[in-house]
């Protein structure tokens, strides 16, 4: 690694995205939202009118992807820039998700994105948000955190999030989706969701994000004194 890296892994809804933004903002470090990369590759491939059967061309695009993740100010979401354009809103659309699924099955693209993720490790440091940051992408990182919460609590958080946006949702359905996703993520052959052997395990089910932040920041101060 060419710079200090903090890995925050865990399932969806555990609070890792918010935690990563808070850490990046506090430390003045770069931020990597690894889960967004496949969506961005799909968007870029579509923008440049590449055939989704052209694995080599899309892999080359992925390797040179012009993307930046900018942490938002306190209480604001992070912004995602693709080729200099803010695509934060478009990134989470159903259309973009479908594009992502087309490129994610291409082995050469996965390999290209592995190196692309590692390239985010630049001075003064990187906060990496994902599911396999500590186990696959940055196995030598000096600080790895695995942040989790019960499926019930994560469903509750997601329910509130969607209701606040005015969407009609069913919490029982959300819980089923979260449990199914956890099962897929933890049982997949390639880079399954699991804590690194040396990860700090934090269950945020009954913790506020400020409590989690304080605990991780204390670890950062101990392991990165200059930070």
* Helix 16-27 / helix 209-223 crossing angle, nearest 10 deg: 50
Compute the distance between CA of residue 221 and CA of residue 34 in angstroms, rounded to an integer. 24
Domains of the chain: 4-150+199-220 (3.40.50.300)
Q: What is the pLDDT along the chain (227 residues), one digit of tens a residue?
A: 678 999 999 988 899 989 999 999 999 999 998 878 988 999 999 999 999 999 999 999 999 989 888 876 665 667 889 999 999 888 877 678 778 878 877 888 888 999 888 989 999 999 999 888 999 999 999 999 999 999 999 999 988 888 887 878 899 988 988 888 788 778 877 778 899 999 999 999 999 999 999 999 999 999 887 76
Q: Are 170 and 35 in contact (CB under 8 A)?
A: no
Compute the distance between CA of residue 213 and CA of residue 121 in angstroms, rounded to an integer. 21
Compute the distance between CA of residue 152 and CA of residue 139 in angstroms, rounded to an integer. 30
The reported pLDDT for the residue numbered 227 is 61
Describe the chain by its helix, strand, coil percentages, rounded to 5. 50, 15, 35
Compute the distance between CA of residue 91 and CA of residue 80 in angstroms, rounded to an integer. 8
Paired sense of beta strands 30-33 and 200-203, if any: unpaired
Rounded to two decimals, what is the model's pTM? 0.81
The reported pLDDT for the residue numbered 203 is 96
Best CA proximity match to 7, nearest among 186, 140, 192: 140
Q: pLDDT tens, 13-36?
A: 899 989 999 999 999 999 998 878
Q: pLDDT tens, 49-85?
A: 999 999 999 999 999 989 888 876 665 667 889 999 9
The reported pLDDT for the residue numbered 75 is 59
Q: CB 43: neighbour CB atoms within 10 A?
A: 26
- Which residues are paired to 80 by β-bridges? 69
The reported pLDDT for the residue numbered 1 is 60
The reported pLDDT for the residue numbered 142 is 94
The reported pLDDT for the residue numbered 76 is 67
């Amino acid at each position: 690694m060419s710079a200090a890296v903090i890995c925050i892994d865990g399932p969806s809804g555990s609070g890792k995205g918010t935690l990563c933004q808070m850490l990046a903002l506090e430390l003045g470090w770069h931020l990597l939202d690894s889960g967004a990369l496949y969506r961005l590759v799909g968007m870029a491939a579509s923008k440049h009118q590449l055939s989704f059967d052209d694995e080599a061309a899309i892999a080359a695009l992925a390797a040179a992807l012009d993307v930046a993740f900018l942490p938002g100010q306190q209480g604001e979401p992070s912004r995602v820039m693709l080729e200099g354009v803010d695509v934060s809103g478009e990134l989470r659309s159903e259309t973009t998700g479908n594009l992502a699924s087309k490129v994610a099955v291409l082995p050469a693209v996965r390999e290209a994105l592995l190196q692309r993720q590692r390239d985010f490790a630049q001075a003064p440091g990187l906060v990496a948000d994902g599911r396999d940051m500590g186990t696959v992408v940055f196995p030598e990182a000096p600080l790895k955190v695995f942040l989790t919460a019960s499926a019930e609590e994560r469903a509750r958080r997601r329910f509130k999030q969607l209701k606040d946006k005015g969407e009609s949702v069913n919490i029982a359905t959300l819980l089923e989706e979260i449990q199914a996703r956890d099962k897929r993520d933890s049982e997949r052959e390639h880079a399954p969701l699991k804590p690194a052997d040396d990860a700090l395990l934090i269950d945020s089910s009954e913790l506020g994000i400020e409590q989690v932040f304080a605990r991780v920041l204390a670890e950062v101060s101990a392991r990165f004194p200059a930070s």
